[in-house]
Amino acid sequence: MTVSTLQKDRYNYKPHMPQILKKDVKSININKGNATESVSDRTELKQMFPKTYGMPVATLSENENPAAGNKINVGVVLSGGQAPGGHNVIAGLFDGIKAGNPESKLYGFLGGPAGLIEDKKIEITPEYLDEYRNTGGFDIIGSGRTKLETTEQFDSSLDVCKKNGISAVVIIGGDDSNTNAAMLAEYFASKDAGVQVIGCPKTIDGDLKNEHIETSFGFDTATKTFSELVGNIERDANSAKKYWHFIKLMGRSASHIALECALQTQPNYTVISEEVEEKKTSLTEIVNDITDVIVKRANNSENFGVVLVPEGLIEFIPEMGVLISELNNLLAEKEEYYNTLTTFEDQSEFINKNLSKDSSYVFSALPNNIQRQLLMDRDPHGNVQVSRIETEMLLIEMVEDKLKELKTEGKYNGSFSHQHHFFGYEGRCAFPSNFDSDYCYSLGYTAFTLIANGLTGYMSSVKNLSKPASEWVPGGIPVTMMMNLEIRHGKNKPVIKKALVELDGKPFKTFAANRDEWAIKTSFRYPGAIQYYGPDEVCNAPTITLSLEKE
């Protein structure tokens, strides 16, 4: 394989670690706190997870742990969408295992959870791993979206572990993947199988976080990559001075990416979905707000600008959220019949007959292409695939219509030329930043220490992340502690509660305090490319979001 000079150099990068992880692994023990509770639905979840509910938070401490030297076999799974740093989680896990006992083995299950079910795997060797250290992507073993949730899948997974002498499985994934990990841990514990399950927090969306998981890995790299691209577009807009750029940013359920990119680049307008929901802002009101900014800038002879739109916005707009909820439930209940309808006209007629009056009106008023996108195949949870909905195009069309109306009334004399973009895949497999390289390696190494201390049903955690890596605090968090019940395919399912943007948090307040000025006065900020060498404030700084949260 031909590699770039940067790639060769990154192979040799030595991730920084918390001080305690630099100790002999046989001298790393754990301290256990008090029993924990789930964030809600406690009675139901305690019944669902009788073996693993209520476990204490674990922190690492320096004390003898001879068990860390036992020879073991561990399996690792990459689950869900890619996020920068996944390879380093595996590297940290591998190095921890080998530090415990050089004869221990790490098996990588291929293609995600399906590899665990079907016993498709490779042994991770030093030579093989060295080609992936500090690089982006999940191509070391591949990923997949198979859900671990049926008894047959659990039985098969257990058989595979027994067959290969595997005593622990590490699942690297987002909220749903770690929920599946918790269910697998509960199942193994109920069978007294002797197989531990540990999760690691991954998602570039940034919505897997809480007081113990300060950020999910990949968020740092992805937002810095997106911010570079947004900054480049801002520079172009300020140079050409003739386009309005509407940029949709990845983030299905939360606006963390949009908020961080706004803080990094200071665009003219940024929609924050959580604020839209809180204020019950209608689609028309959003369009009017954007139009107002465009008109004011046109009055200053600035017929250009940048608008950031979170991917999941459409579900947070009140009337659209109700419509989508009705669509999800209707298509879950009538899936068999709906699948017999082969034309859009038949589908649309069926939908309008079965929606409430208000939702039918909203659906009918949408542009035809948006209607079609709302009726596309559902995601694995039975929900609309919001990434396929061209929200940025919907806003452009509606803004354009509003501006024509204002021009007819003599209230607008500018010009509106537009471009649209969607940044998602561009950030999922980027070279991880130094922060993500260090953080992910520490998560993997910590996962081994949790295994070595006999824990299961835990998520690897590293805290104090706004400080230098040597001051980070590793430990383990019971996954059930983060759970609530949500409706999936029309039924209540245990899931890790998503963390949305907190409107009373410092990151949002900082944004809100500045956005009116950014709207009218061109205040673009150009972050530039991720840097790997130089002063800490240049190459090792965390996101603005994390820094503000920990001030």
- Residues noted as catalytic: 205
CA atoms within 13 A on the CB side of 168: 26
Contacts with 152 (C-beta within 8 Å, 6 or more apart), sequence order: none
Report the 3 state secondary structure along 452-489: HCCCCCEEEEEECCCCCHHHCEEEEEEHHHHEEEEEEC
Q: Which of 2, 461, 1 is nearest to 211 (CA)?
A: 461
d(CA 541, CA 7): 21
Q: Look up residue 396 and give its two tokens.
A: 């452009």
116 neighbors 109 (Cβ within 8 angstroms):
yes
Angle between helices 434-452 and 86-100 (to 10 degrees): 40
179 neighbors 203 (Cβ within 8 angstroms):
no
Contacts with 4 (C-beta within 8 Å, 6 or more apart), sequence order: none
d(CA 115, CA 111): 6
315 neighbors 324 (Cβ within 8 angstroms):
yes
Q: Which of 199, 154, 186, 209 is nearest to 54 (CA)?
A: 186
String of DSSP letters for 346-364? HHHHHHHHHS-HHHHHHHH
Q: Look up residue 235 and give its two tokens.
A: 């520079």
Q: What's 195's DSSP letter?
A: -
d(CA 243, CA 302): 10
Q: Look up residue 428 and give its two tokens.
A: 């999922």
Dihedrals φ, ψ of 104, to 5°? Answer: -65, 155
d(CA 68, CA 310): 44
Contacts with 192 (C-beta within 8 Å, 6 or more apart), sequence order: none
250 neighbors 205 (Cβ within 8 angstroms):
yes
